[in-house]
Amino acid sequence: MAEEKRTVVVTGGAGFIGSHLCERLLSDGHQVICIDNFITSEVSNIESMLKNPDFEFIKLDINEPFDLEAFPELARFKINVKGVQEIYHLACPTSAKKFDNLRIQTYLANSVGMRNTLDAAVKYKARFLHASTSVVYGPRREDGARFKETDLGLTNQASPRACYDEGKKFAEAACFTYASVYGLDIRVARLFRTYGPRQRLNDGEMVPDFIIDALEGRDLVVYGDEDFSTSLLYVTDAVDGMVRLMRASKNPGPVNFGGDEDIHLADVGRKVIAMTQSKSKLVFEAPLLFMTRQGLPDLRKSSDELGWIPLVRLEDGLKRSVEYTLVTKGLARNI
């Protein structure tokens, strides 16, 4: 049986993960309102959707109060009558190299922007999904234990990263408070490190930068040492997890979505070099503030309660990312 057609809002919808989510929602037959201000996103991410009658882009900053019914381009969706059924909240700056310059915008997105978006959910009684992050658990544990959703994270409110790390914890607290006070159905997806097509290039995110540097013959920079490792989740698996969580008949509480392997970034770089037949070499530099060695997810809850597991193997995800980069950058190379 086909799903009932819904009107869905995606904040941060022109971003890396958000644009893939918009595509998935359109393919599922829904009307999508994409909200973004392009602070760390690209219009090219949504160009293919702009002519779709079920898609509308609204450029706005969620840190400012907004009223969806005030936008004439949304009149065809009849929000004043039919309302909005779902809101996916992904809007928050995520730039490894520009993180220090965006700390105020990050703090505001996790506080004021969170409030404005939650108020929209209250107005329309919409089901709400917050795209949280693994950083709420704090740094990787020395014993290597995986993070469970019941674990309480230890983060530093005086750290230069606090606008993001503590901000994301506050954003979750806002969700739980609105759920308790207003009776909203709020889902919390804790995403671990995600990669794939449309990640920003030359921004310190190592996987896309590995690819473009290998293709152009530059050294691949690992911001860390040979032992820097992380979980890696392909973007379509992240999107599938969020959609499953949003559509679940019973709210399972916060759910982890991440890769199930601990992968050394240096090994990823070597795979990219081999895949692109590049003569580039690996070099190691001091870690960037935003690129920390994150912990690993315990995925039993996502598997048991949502039937979700990561499906895309690293080699396949890297190959798709390389192919995307070749096409979008106009590089001629056989792989």
Any idea which residues carry the catalytic annotation? Answer: 164
Residues 6+ apart with CB under 8 A from 67: none
Residue 329: which H helix or E strand, with range?
helix 314-329
Buried b / exposed e over 137-171, threshold 16 CB at 10 Å, is bbebeeeeebbebebebebeeeeebbbbbbbbbbb
Q: What is the C-alpha separation between 108 and 64, in angstroms, rounded?
A: 10
Other C-beta atoms closer than 10 Å to the C-beta of 201 total 15
Please report where in the chains the tokens 């040492």 appear, as a residue.
Answer: 225
Q: What is the C-alpha separation between 143 and 146, in angstroms, rounded?
A: 9
Q: What is the C-alpha separation between 285 and 114, in angstroms, rounded?
A: 35
CA 33 from chain centre, in angstroms, equals 17
Q: Number of helices (H) and strands (E), helices first, in the chain?
A: 10, 13
Q: What is the C-alpha separation between 27 and 21, in angstroms, rounded?
A: 10
Other C-beta atoms closer than 10 Å to the C-beta of 200 total 20
Phi, psi (deg, nearest 5) at residue 210: -55, -45
The closest alpha carbon to 123, from 68, 188, 61, belongs to 68
Strands 31-36 and 7-11 come out as: parallel
Phi, psi (deg, nearest 5) at residue 308: -105, 135
Q: What is the C-alpha separation between 5 and 11, in angstroms, rounded?
A: 19
